[in-house]
Amino acid sequence: MVLRGANLARKRFPQIDFLVFGQESEVAPILNRMKRLKQVTTLVHCDGVVSDSEKPSVAVRSGRNSSMHRAIRAVRDGEAAGCVSAGNTGALMAMAKMALKTLPTIDRPAIASFFPTLRGESVMLDLGANVQCTAQNLVDFAIMGNAFSRTVLGTQEPSVGLLNVGAEERKGHEALWDARAQLDRLEMPGRFHGFIEGDDIAKGTVDVIVTDGFTGNVALKTAEGTAKLMGVYLQRTFKSSIFAQLGYLLARRAMHKLRKRTDPRRYNGAIFLGLNGITVKSHGGTDAIGFANAIGVAVDMAREGFMDRIRTDLAQIRSNPTNTRAAAV
Amino acid sequence: MVLRGANLARKRFPQIDFLVFGQESEVAPILNRMKRLKQVTTLVHCDGVVSDSEKPSVAVRSGRNSSMHRAIRAVRDGEAAGCVSAGNTGALMAMAKMALKTLPTIDRPAIASFFPTLRGESVMLDLGANVQCTAQNLVDFAIMGNAFSRTVLGTQEPSVGLLNVGAEERKGHEALWDARAQLDRLEMPGRFHGFIEGDDIAKGTVDVIVTDGFTGNVALKTAEGTAKLMGVYLQRTFKSSIFAQLGYLLARRAMHKLRKRTDPRRYNGAIFLGLNGITVKSHGGTDAIGFANAIGVAVDMAREGFMDRIRTDLAQIRSNPTNTRAAAV
């Protein structure tokens, strides 16, 4: 799946080449069958592998020769522009945090991803790296999501919203109130919208949705589950009568486009934001198309100079006297 | 909307009659035009009204003559089997809590609602009454949701799941770990499933989904927003070509059924669980069909003897020595 995904990505981005980390005896035979990919790929043999069930803390300690750790180190050492993995999320985050370190002033990295909306695409973070978040974490996520939206999605003036259970000032909990007060005063490109609610995600009310990792993870998976349910309902509907079946035959091409539009593989590739380097996590259960999309996310970030953009943003925000006052309040 | 909803409910449930609380000068002219409804309705004039923007604390203190408070008192005083309101949720909950009081051993009431799933319907709580919850609150919600599922949905042995960001034991936060440990030991009808994730809601993995009010509210609204987005995508798809348009014409009847099946009005009616009396909150923006469904929820609860069932359940759980030990751990 990984190599076939890389092969698809190679066609889409002819300018990139690959470092592939893994067991040579397993990887080489497959790679030998993909001549064009092989020409742009360096295979780096690694003895170890991090299993999906391994605890992050254990993986970090004992996994220094694993393919995962080697791939992250290649980013740290400037050998790779970014790392893409479909492995154990917790281990990948723990290793990336340790090897790449967080950006200046950023306490905690977050996991971000795209969401389809009525207006196009939004980015949401955190999706599970931090179960509990302070106001400062949420403010950091807003800054990082903002930079990501401008760089990778090309949004000129991104609007940022804090996910809550109501739009009024005293809804939710204290970390949200404090984060809102800080973001109200923070001078950054774009616009702070205030609180949003769950239905604002799909509406596309804002370009960047900021939330703690618990809520974000539940919202992401609830949306995925609901979309799948609607898909099954639609299938059943088209099978429910002979007329509906004929109708489907006529609308088939359009329905195919809809399926493509809502294909979860299209949104594959969760970004670790807040680290000194690009790391993208692919869904473990995806296929070559999905993995190629995750590679595409890393390529876009590298090509659009995301790391420079976020470093500049953070430096500007820190040096702005208004923001220093805001942070001190 | 309320009176037209009551009129629809009257047709569906010929055995019930209504107490309508409101400004006589406004309600009477409408009621006079609905002869059959008028025959089974007592109009109780109330001077006050709780506005949607009023703070719950203010409404509780100054709203004793409001239609909302009078309706709840009618439940408390045994004049009504249940109360249905489309008004201010926070005020309704605060008034219901004060007038009806919580059930023995229940510390906090919760808001529950139905969710459509691949397997049928599940019930989820809390949907917003309690932003933060202790382990004990979550255990109480599990017991209440279980009783609700058996009584109103007729599930023989409901399965109960705790909404989390992963199925493994140490995922999420401490209140969830403690609640899981307590529920593992609690002897109650049905089966405790353990942790579930956001996509399990629509899958119908469990009959009862237990969560804190913050997460539940975000999940509910995210699901609603996603369903709406999918509906818009589908509409656009059917309009995207002449073949798709013809296809829609053929599949129209089936699509109409699908729209009915996913109509949010069908799931209108959030239940306040944990109080000494039946209170159902209708969506404020619904229409007569939606309001009639909310009345239907209250009727089902009253008819199936929900209050007796939940009192019996709580007494049995308290008197079971295994459970007393479980609670003491």
pLDDT in tens, A104-138: 999 999 999 999 999 999 999 999 999 999 999 99
- Paired with A208 in beta bridges are A123, A160
Are residues A22 and A128 part of one domain? no
Give the domain range for residue B222: 115-269+292-329
User: How many Å apart are CA A315 and CA B177, to the nearest integer?
Assistant: 40
Question: Over 90: is that where the pLDDT of A326 sits?
Answer: no
Whether residues A120 and A213 fall in one domain: yes
Residue A261: pLDDT band with limits 50, 70, 90: confident
Asked if residue B68 belongs to a domain, the reply is no
8 A C-beta contact, residue A198 and residue B219: yes
Chain A residues with CB inside 8 Å of B220's CB? Answer: 198
Q: Give A261's contacts in chain B (Cβ within 8 Å).
A: 233
Residues A298 and A313 in one domain: no
Single-letter amino acid, residue A88 = N
How many whole angstroms separate alpha carbon B301 and alpha carbon A188? 52
Lowest average pLDDT, out of A54-58, A94-98, B4-8, B158-162, goes to: A54-58
Distance from CA of A220 to the nearest CA of B (A): 7
Residue B58 in any domain: the answer is no
Of residues A198, A229, A232, nearest to B220 (C-beta)? A198
Short-list A146, A142, A213, CA closest to A183: A142
Give yes or no for a contact between B117 and B171, defined as CB atoms under 8 angstroms apart. no
In this predicted structure, the answer to whether residue A61 has a pLDDT above a threshold of 90 is: no
Looking at the fold, whether A233 and A151 belong to one and the same domain comes out as: yes
Answer yes or no: do A238 and A163 share one domain. yes
State the average pLDDT for chain A. 92
Mean pLDDT of all residues in A69-80: 96
Domain-located, residue B99: no
Determine the pLDDT at residue B324.
58
Q: What is the ipTM of this complex?
A: 0.91
* pLDDT per residue as tens, chain B (329 positions): 999 999 999 999 999 999 999 999 999 999 999 999 999 999 999 988 898 888 888 888 888 889 999 999 999 999 999 999 999 999 999 999 999 999 999 999 999 999 999 999 999 999 999 999 999 999 999 999 999 999 999 999 999 999 999 888 889 999 999 999 999 999 888 899 999 999 999 999 999 999 999 999 999 999 999 999 999 999 899 998 998 999 988 898 898 888 888 888 888 999 999 999 999 999 988 999 999 999 999 999 999 999 999 999 889 887 877 775 555 44
B62-95 in b/e burial notation, b at 16+ Cβ within 10 A? ebeebbbbbbbbbbbeeebbbbbbbbbbbbbbbb
Residue-wise pLDDT for A1-10, tens only, equals: 999 999 999 9
The separation between the first and the last C-alpha atoms of chain A, rounded to the nearest angstrom, is 50
Q: B237, A223: Cβ pair inside 8 Å? A: no
Residue B163 inside a domain? The answer is yes
Q: Are A223 and B223 within 8 A, CB to CB? A: yes
List CB contacts (< 8 A) between B227 and chain A: 226, 230
Does residue A70 surpass a pLDDT of 50?
A: yes
Cβ–Cβ of B118/A202 closer than 8 Å?
no
Contact, B127 vs B208, CB < 8 A?
no
Asked whether residue A199 falls in the same domain as residue A234, the answer is: yes
Residue B4 lies in a domain: no
Query: For residue B282, what is the DSSP state?
Result: P
Whether B87 is covered by a domain: the verdict is no
A213 pLDDT band (50/70/90 cuts)? Answer: very high
Residues A48, A150, single domain; the answer is: no
Chain A residues within 8 A of B250 when measuring between CB atoms = 243-244, 246-247, 250
Q: Tens digit of pLDDT for each residue in B81-92?
A: 999 999 999 999
The closest CB to that of A165, out of B172, B217, B240, belongs to B217
* Spatial CA neighbour of B252 closest among B241, B244, B263: B244
Q: Which of B200, B219, B261 sits opposite A219 (nearest CB)?
A: B219
Partner-chain contact B244 A230, CB within 8 Å:
no
Contacts of B128 in chain A (CB under 8 A): 165
Cβ-defined contact of B198 to A238 (cutoff 8 Å): no
Q: Searching chain B, which residue's CA lies closest to the CA of residue A244?
A: B251
Q: How far away is chain B from the Cα of A310, in angstroms, using its nearest Cα?
A: 28
Pairwise CA distance, residues A72 & A85, whole Å: 9
Radius of gyration of chain A from its Cα atoms, rounded to whole angstroms: 21
Give how far A173 is from chain B: nearest CA, Å: 7
| Pairing of β A120-125 and β A208-210 | parallel
Please give the helix or strand (H or E) that residue A159 lies within, else none: strand A159-163
For residue A207, which phi and psi values (nearest 5 degrees)? -85, -25
Q: Are A48 and A88 found together in one domain?
A: yes
Region A22-27: mean pLDDT is 94
Residues A41 and A121 in one domain: no
Can you give the CATH number for the domain in which A91 is found? Answer: 3.40.718.10
| Bridge partner residues of B112 (DSSP) | B125, B271
Instruction: Give the nearest partner residue to A215 out of B214, B232, B253, using CB atoms.
Output: B214
Which of B12, B14, B31 minimizes the C-alpha distance to B22? B31
Q: Using one digit for the tens of pLDDT, what is the confidence trace for B162-201?
A: 999 988 888 999 999 999 999 999 988 889 999 999 999 9
Identify the H or E element spanning A176: helix A174-185
Closest residue, chain A, to B252 (C-alpha): A244
Looking at the structure of chain B, the number of domains it has is 1
Q: How far apart are CA B263 and CA B281, in angstroms?
A: 17
Report percent pLDDT > 70 for chain A: 98
